[in-house]
Amino acid sequence: MASCSRCPSTPRRGPRFHRGPAAAAGPRERWRCWRHGAAHAKGRRMTADPTLRTLRPDDAEACAALVRSAFSAQDVVTDPPSSALRETGDSLRAWIAAGGGVGIAAGDRLLALLLWAERDGGLYCGRLAVDPAARGRGFARALVAEAEREARRRSLPRLHVRVRLQLAGNLALFASLGFREIARDVHAGYPEPTLAVLEKRLDG
Ligand SMILES: CC(C)(COP(=O)(O)OP(=O)(O)OC[C@H]1O[C@@H](n2cnc3c(N)ncnc32)[C@H](O)[C@@H]1OP(=O)(O)O)[C@@H](O)C(=O)NCCC(=O)NCCS
The tens digit of pLDDT for each residue in 63-120 reads: 999 999 999 999 999 999 999 999 999 999 999 999 999 999 999 999 999 999 999 9
- Take atom 18 of ligand 1 and give the residue whose Cα is closest: 173
Strands 50-54 and 18-19, bridge-based pairing: parallel
Is the CB of residue 71 below 6 angstroms from any atom belonging to ligand 1? yes
**Ligand 1 center–CA 115 separation, angstroms:** 16
Predicted confidence at residue 204, as pLDDT, reads: 79
pLDDT tens-digit readout, 24-54 = 333 333 444 443 343 443 344 445 889 999 9
Helix (H) or strand (E) holding 63: helix 60-72
Q: 52-201: which CATH number, 3.30.70.100, 3.40.630.30, 3.40.50.150, 3.40.50.300?
A: 3.40.630.30
Pair 18, 30: CB distance under 8 Å: yes
Predicted confidence at residue 47, as pLDDT, reads: 56
Select from 180, 179, 143, 178 the least CA-distant residue to 53. Answer: 143
**Ligand 1 center–CA 42 separation, angstroms:** 32
pLDDT tens-digit readout, 156-196 = 999 999 999 999 999 999 999 999 999 999 999 999 999 99
Residue 21 has pLDDT above 90, yes or no: no
Select from 138, 142, 182 the least CA-distant residue to 158. Answer: 182
pTM, to two decimals: 0.83
Predicted confidence at residue 19, as pLDDT, reads: 60
Is the CB of residue 122 below 6 angstroms from any atom belonging to ligand 1? no
Residue 16 has pLDDT above 90, yes or no: no
Is the CB of residue 132 below 6 angstroms from any atom belonging to ligand 1? no
Predicted confidence at residue 95, as pLDDT, reads: 98
Residue 133 has pLDDT above 80, yes or no: yes
**Ligand 1 center–CA 24 separation, angstroms:** 31
Surface-to-core class of residue 174, CB atoms within 10 Å of its CB (0-12 exposed, 13-18 middle, 19+ buried): buried
Is the CB of residue 176 below 6 angstroms from any atom belonging to ligand 1? yes
Predicted confidence at residue 20, as pLDDT, reads: 54
Residue 2 has pLDDT above 80, yes or no: no
Q: Which residue has the higher pLDDT, 179 or 5?
A: 179
